[in-house]
Amino acid sequence: SDQLGFNYNIVVPGIQVAALLHVDLLLKRLEVPEKTDRVILPGWVQGNIDQLQAKFNLPFERGPKDLRDLPEYFGLEKRRAAELSKWSIEIIAEINHATRQSVQAVVTEAQSLISDGADLIDIGCVPGESSSTVGELVTALRAEDIRVSIDSFDRHEVDAAVNAGAELILSGNSSNIDWVGRTGAEVVLIPDSPQDLESLDRSIQQLCGQCEFRIDPILEPIGMGFTSSLQRYILSRQRYPDLPIMMGTGNVTELADSDSGGINMLLAAVCQDLQIHSILTTQVINWCRTSVREFNAARRMVQYAEDNGTIPKHISNQLLMLRDARPREYSAESLEQLSAALTDSSFRIFAEQHGLHLMNRNGHWQGDDSFEIFAEGLAANPDVDASHAFYLGYEMARAEICRLLGKKYDQDEPIQWGVAGTSPGSRRVHHESDDPESETPS
């Protein structure tokens, strides 16, 4: 209490499952000690707490759902809320082989990419195929107020796209420099080959004053000159401090057997340092399926780090997809104490590094094999019906996954996978039929 700056009492209203607490139950059971100034309820409490405030004439509030989060709740472990609304790197998301898809399919995919954080949609054409549908695709996207670029060296495709409203052409080099600058759209200039920066210099000189353009020195795949290509981005920034630069990230994210989240974070950091204000990304290979969402999170984190002169640590969980930042654990001793104190038949499940745990008033089963734990628990609780056995199996599987990956497991609650999404828990299904005052399995 000295650390907190106030004295406290812990009141147990005759129920051991916090997730089953409801305001109606507390109205009947809760007794508030004298000289109480404030009441903090478990975050699980359901119902309108205004009724409690009216009855006791005291302020009531919901605290955290997990008691291990109380130190942070009371300000003993302060985390500064990061302002992540700012970014300076534009995301151009390519729809690969868009000209081989239907208009509706392209529009649907584009809308999804925009929702994920893309700012501009790149119509990826097929080299060697001069498509007649480019104009129709761009027109359909512009009708949805979606910004468009065209990824082609074919003059017919480029002209059709620009006439329909495309604002950016990928790409220009010595092979099309004679006409690409006269289309009226901005151009991405690239070298004739990744190692030939002199050819990029010549194209820059030729287009200066003719049209707007940005440059892309070309990022090479890992094992094919990756580090040297990064050096060329550095050199290009030194040579042209005021020119806009774009980086195509797909050569690295798509061409390495690695989840793309961490790679996108590193590339975002490079872009932020070098003032590269646009990137082209793709989502073709399965491990890149959330690349746009990942880069959208990464660009905000690196912007925050730069603006605040700090490192991008403990400011967002969006790129912590496989592991959690702080998977707080219960010790084996505390779980033993909990199991010894249980007097109801509700099952509790815990996933700790020292083992999986299943417990209720009839026992405490623990180990590394969820099948063995499940079998032992059922043997001691023969009245468990099929639907509840399914629930226990589902929760044990989720607990085992969290333990394997080092993620926080909260029974019945969704598992957070950062930008990849959330897998559902079973709290609604599990507790809809539960009576908090009964002794039936829950």
pTM: 0.82
Backbone CA torsion sign across 180, 182, 184, 188: positive
Q: Is the distance from CB of 142 to CB of 164 less than 8 angstroms?
A: yes
Q: How long is the chain?
A: 442
Cα 15 to Cα 37: distance, rounded to the nearest angstrom: 23
Helices (H), 282-418: 291-308, 332-341, 370-380, 386-405
Question: What residues form DSSP beta bridges with 280?
Answer: 92, 248
- Domains of the chain, residue spans: 18-73, 90-308, 332-431
Nearest CA to 170 among 189, 155, 145?
189
CA distance 158 to 121: 15
The pLDDT of residue 77 is 64
CA–CA separation, 183 vs 185, rounded Å?
6
CA–CA separation, 94 vs 435, rounded Å? Answer: 52
What are the Cα distances from residue 382, in Å, to 362, 377, 379, 386?
11, 9, 6, 11
In the chain, how many H helices and how many E strands? 16, 15
- Give the whole-angstrom CA distance, residue 39 versus residue 10: 10
Contact 39, 58 (CB under 8 A): yes
Per-residue pLDDT at 1: 54
The helix (H) or strand (E) run that includes residue 9 is: none
**CA separation, residue 162 to residues 143, 170, 184, 372 (Å):** 14, 12, 8, 64
Distance CA 173, CA 191 (A): 6
Rg of the chain over Cα atoms, rounded to whole angstroms, equals 29
Q: What is the CATH number of domain 90-308?
A: 3.20.20.20
- Note down pLDDT in tens along the chain; length 442 residues: 566 778 888 888 876 666 667 888 888 889 899 889 999 998 878 889 999 999 999 999 998 877 767 887 787 765 556 889 999 999 999 999 999 999 999 999 999 999 999 999 999 999 999 999 999 999 999 999 999 999 999 999 999 999 999 999 999 999 999 999 999 999 999 999 999 999 999 999 999 989 999 999 999 999 999 999 999 999 999 999 999 999 999 999 999 999 999 999 999 999 999 999 999 999 999 999 999 999 999 999 999 999 999 999 989 999 999 999 887 788 899 899 989 988 889 999 999 999 999 999 999 999 999 999 999 999 999 999 999 999 999 999 999 999 999 999 999 989 999 999 998 888 644 444 444 444 333 3
Give the whole-angstrom CA distance, residue 285 versus residue 260: 10
The CA-atom distances, in angstroms, between 359 and each of 133, 216, 344 are: 63, 59, 10
CA 317 to CA 130: how far, in whole Å? 44
Query: SS3 breakdown of the chain: % helix, strand, coil, rounded to 5?
Result: 40, 15, 45
| C-alpha dist (Å) from residue 360 to 28, 123, 142, 346 | 25, 58, 60, 6
Per the CB < 8 A criterion, the answer to whether 236 and 271 are in contact is: no
Q: How far apart are CA 373 and CA 396, in angstroms?
A: 9
- pLDDT, position 16: 62
Res 321: pLDDT: 94
pLDDT number for residue 80: 58
